[in-house]
């Protein structure tokens, strides 16, 4: 572990540093509360052993500052007091301390506190890992391993806000597997799942690293294309549809004889500053236009097509 010792008494710092290092941990030291706060922010130690009374931030203020600054990590806080009164101990715990020791500092006592600190910080690290994994799982479609609608909502709101602030463009495309119900009827749902996985993999390979590909629901996929113009999005989707058709997944219920996609696109541009919900709705309408026009094609939203193609 990395341990920060904060104490304005040089002798106490020396004893604490020696005890920490003899316990097999890395130690950094500060001679006052302000220096300790700066070291905490730059090093993010696992444990802080802080004197109660010292110049600058005192031990209570330092504990409060650390607790306020914590995010996913957890810092074990040990308060050192020469008084050892009940009031000091209670005040320390209320400020966020996990434990306390009294002066003069006993190396063995500090060693035992560090053993506890190791267990606690390890547990918190494991919990943070599990929380992150659960958060990722909640935002991932289990079949295709693409992001799902929850992640789409978060990402799109963030992108739209940023684009509105800085005047950037972005495009959205909704893709739908053509005649997918008949595919399931002919080949079965297990084959349908495998087809969706293949389509998802193909779509993910077509985009740039900054693009997002999501399973929008059922046989629908949504592509979020930051910084992409409508014409650029149209060209990218043409390639994506060709790639899916090139997979050669047999589909006797489709006119082409293989699995294909249709896509609808809308864009957020300087001439079309509307809400992200409207962009989504326009892309959805464009998708239905593509379906009505014979499928296996890309259609721009009417509002965008006029700007790009003049019709």
Active site residues: 219
3-class DSSP state of 216:
strand
Q: Is the dihedral of CA 50, 51, 52, 58 positive or negative?
A: negative
Which phi and psi (to 5°) does residue 253 adopt? -90, 5
CA angle 140, 146, 151 (to 5 degrees): 50
CA angle 253, 258, 262 (to 5 degrees): 85
Sole residue written with tokens 């010792």 = 5
3-class DSSP state of 210:
coil
- DSSP-assigned beta bridge partners for residue 143: none
Quickly count: other Cβ atoms within 10 Å of residue 43's Cβ. Answer: 12
Q: Residue 221 and residue 236: Cα distance in Å, rounded?
A: 15
Q: For residue 184, which of 174, 193, 172 has the smallest C-alpha distance?
A: 193
Tell me the two tokens of residue 174: 């909704």
CA distance readout (Å), 51 to 24, 27, 60, 77: 22, 15, 9, 11
Cβ(32)–Cβ(6) below 8 Å: yes
CA distance readout (Å), 92 to 60, 77, 97, 153: 6, 9, 5, 42
Which phi and psi (to 5°) does residue 100 adopt? -145, 155
């Amino acid at each position: 572990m990395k341990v920060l010792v904060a104490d304005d008494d040089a002798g106490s710092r020396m004893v604490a540093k020696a005890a920490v290092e003899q316990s097999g941990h890395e130690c950094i030291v500060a001679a006052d509360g302000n220096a300790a706060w700066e070291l905490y922010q730059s090093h993010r130690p696992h444990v802080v052993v802080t004197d109660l009374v010292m110049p600058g931030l005192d031990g209570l203020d330092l504990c409060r500052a650390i607790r306020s600054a914590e995010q996913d990590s957890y810092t074990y806080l040990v308060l050192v007091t020469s008084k050892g009164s009940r009031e000091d101990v209670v005040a320390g715990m209320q400020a966020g301390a996990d434990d306390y020791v009294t002066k003069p500092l006993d190396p063995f006592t500090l060693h035992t506190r560090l053993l506890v600190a190791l267990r606690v910080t390890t547990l918190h690290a494991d919990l943070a890992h599990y929380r992150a994994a659960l958060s990722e799982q909640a935002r991932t479609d289990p079949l295709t391993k693409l992001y799902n609608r929850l992640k789409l909502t978060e990402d799109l709101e963030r992108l739209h806000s940023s684009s509105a602030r800085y005047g950037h463009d972005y495009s959205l495309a909704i893709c739908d597997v053509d005649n997918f119900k008949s595919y399931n009827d002919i080949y079965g749902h297990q084959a349908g799942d495998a087809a969706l996985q293949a389509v998802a993999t193909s779509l993910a390979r077509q985009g740039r690293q900054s693009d997002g590909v999501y399973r929008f629901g059922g046989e629908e996929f949504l592509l979020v294309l930051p910084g992409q113009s409508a014409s650029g999005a149209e060209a990218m989707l043409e390639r994506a549809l060709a790639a899916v058709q090139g997979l050669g997944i047999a589909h006797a219920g489709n006119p082409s004889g293989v699995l294909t996609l249709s896509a609808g696109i809308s864009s957020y541009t300087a001439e079309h500053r509307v809400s992200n919900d409207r962009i989504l709705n326009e892309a959805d309408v464009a998708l239905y236009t593509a379906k009505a026009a014979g499928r296996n094609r890309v259609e721009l939203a009417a509002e965008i097509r006029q700007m790009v193609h003049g019709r």
